[in-house]
Structure 1
Amino acid sequence: MSAAPEAPAVDRRGLLVTAGTFVLWGVVPVYWHLLKMVPAMQIMAHRVVWSALLVVAWLMLSNGFGWLRKLAAQPRVLPALALSAVLIAFNWGLYIWAVNAGHVVETSLGYFINPLVNVVLGVLVLHERLRRAQWIAVGCAALGVAWLTLNAGSPPWIALGLAASFGLYGLVRKLVAVDPVAGLGLESLYLFLPSLAYVLWAEAGHGGSFASGWGWGTDLLLVFGGVVTAVPLVGFAYGVRRIPLSVVGLLQYIAPTLQLLLGVWFFHEPFGLDRALGFGAIWLGLALYAGEGLWHSRRRPGA
């Protein structure tokens, strides 16, 4: 019997690209912090404008109008991607505001919660069934959020808003089977004109100072924000097709872990025992869910 062939190099490349994508998402709070003198809505509008130009240019160069005709031939796709565009815009805007308002630790909490929000949406919307250990994992995370709410005096709205918006975004994109980059291109087109209109309105004497007041360094950061937005999304789309989803599920915790470390060590946000207990309950839930999923997959014949 011949020896089993080695894993193809493309798999290792996919692993590196996907891991690198999550590392970029993990350290991106530092980038948005460099733009803290710019109002969050203007950062958001510039982010959409420049990323839309980049993504659509890439699609046009690689496939002409073919990608757009293919999407337009599926009428159900058009309103669904309009909804997903609104959800991702809300997520991006809230994230940028939270980073520059000094809530990096809470943004990390949102992305730690997000996988379990996906589980809850799967149960409520897709009628998926959970095993007992998975329910225990969700319960641990819920206890963690409840503990953080009790100690803060109010729910962690930023974290819950980020987790819910990104979870709903993922649900919409799951229900509509489209190419990831083409879908991002259409979402960008939906957001482009409102964002461009806001940028022009701001520049017409309403607080905008692009190419005049903030300096060329800030202007370049705003333009390059389109690259910071689009490249990781394209990298994720590339990598996720080449490695198992179970590996993607584990790699996704790189980003919020780095965000948490940045929040504590770089931005010097408080992280006392009360917060650590709440995060600990959520981490326990994530560990239980991931561990149970791996164990169950290994038990299945032919897994």
Structure 2
Amino acid sequence: MIGLLFSGQGAQKTGLTQDLYETIPTYHKVIDDAATILQFDLPSLLFDEAKEADLASTKYCQPAILAMSYGLYQLIKTELPRDKFGIGLSLGEYSALAASGCVDFATALRLIKCRGELMQAASESTPSKMAAIMKADLADVQAVCKDAAGLGAIGVANVNTPQQIVVGGVSAAVDQVVSDLKAAGKRVVPLQVSGAFHTPVMAPIQSALNTKLQTVNWQHGTFPVYSTTTQAEFKPDTLTDNLTKQLVSTTYFAKTLAAHQANLDAVIEVGPGRTLISFARKLNRDLATYRLDSSSELNKTLAAMEVL
């Protein structure tokens, strides 16, 4: 079984996949089509170093990564075994759903563009931040967040691996949590993000996103995609509700992937970077992992698929 891991926000880096864009017509067309749908110069955003700050912004980053992920999937889909599933990190769930065919590419792009704009607006209206806590007990982190809740909205945003928990919320509350955890001897790493995603800070935009999601005619996909908030397979009749709740809900990437570990032969990061395959290796250091975001990595992956 192959696990397809669809990248989340923060994985972007200027220049990634440029060699694919310049040499593979299929990928070139996906990026150019996305630029037309999004109505901004996506190739420039992805490959021009002068646009690095724009690429990092939520409203541009989210549709950019979805377009990259969808385009990369087109390069390997015919070589994949029948037995496969998808897991996405936050916006990566939209990429996975588009790749599987639960939603068409153009609709997915417009959805994630709307989501990115809403999330950026929420971040700008409420000063917030996020921090990663290393080698901490989840119950202990939740208890510290509860103690700090009087200072404002805060919560556990992500449980990425057994060794990494991310908290987020209004700045004063996060500062208190960081102070308390450091005093308890925990290593805490501030994250460079524009806002506290998957926390109550995003609650004000849930209604607007839900309205947009309700316009989608969700379909059954060609491979199952699993929610990192519920660990259950996404279904057409519950997708709108699940993706609305996803905005303010904790994501459990490690737990979701671990449920399939017994039958897992390899994982492929479908998108920029290697964040998710590094998370996967925290669960199983011997797991075969592959990437797609350059010509050399794509060729390695395609060669491995011939063997599998």
Greater fraction strand: 2
More helix by share: 1
**TM-score class normalised by the smaller sequence:** under 0.3
Q: Which has the larger radius of gyration?
A: 1
Normalising to structure 1: TM-score of the pair? 0.26
TM-score (norm 2): 0.26
Greater relative CO, 1 or 2 (CA 8 Å, sep 6+): 1
